[in-house]
Amino acid sequence: MRIIVEEVRLVIKGKVQGVFYRAWAQRSAVLLGINGFCRNLLNGTVEIVGQGRRGALEEFIQRCYDGPNGAKVESIEVFWRGETETFPSFQVR
């Protein structure tokens, strides 16, 4: 049986830079078996690309609304899409 891998791109807005959001996202993604990356964008948001099973990605998105202590997430833009490349792990860029 083949496991279907899906991909989602998230843009997290709010107080998400300077509060260890990327390190928190990496730990959360690894716990859920999600590969991909996260990075700060110049406009003050955090971008995350995650690949994994749909249920794990949906749980990850819900967790991203909370984030680490000190974060204040205002909104998350969610873009489901086809796999753009294969990620062997989850990295902070």
- Among the listed residues 9, 40, 53, 63, the single catalytic one is 40
Which domains, ranges and CATH numbers included, belong to the chain?
A: 6-92 (3.30.70.100)
| Residue 23 reports pLDDT greater than 90 | yes
Residue 50 contacts by C-beta under 8 Å, 6 or more apart in sequence?
Answer: 7, 8, 10, 29, 34, 35, 36, 57, 60, 90
Backbone phi and psi for residue 61, each to the nearest 5 degrees, phi listed first: -60, -45
| Residue 71 reports pLDDT greater than 90 | yes
- For 33, half-sphere exposure in the C-beta direction (CA atoms, 13 angstrom radius) is 9
Mean pLDDT on 22-38: 98
Q: In the structure, what pLDDT confidence band is assigned to residue 1 with cuts at 50, 70 and 90?
A: low
The average confidence (pLDDT) of the chain is 95
| Residue 4 reports pLDDT greater than 80 | no
Quote the pTM value.
0.94
- Among the listed residues 2, 9, 22, 93, the single catalytic one is 22
Q: Is 53 a catalytic residue?
A: no
| Residue 64 reports pLDDT greater than 90 | yes
- Residue 63 tokens read as 């967790």
Q: Is 69 a catalytic residue?
A: no
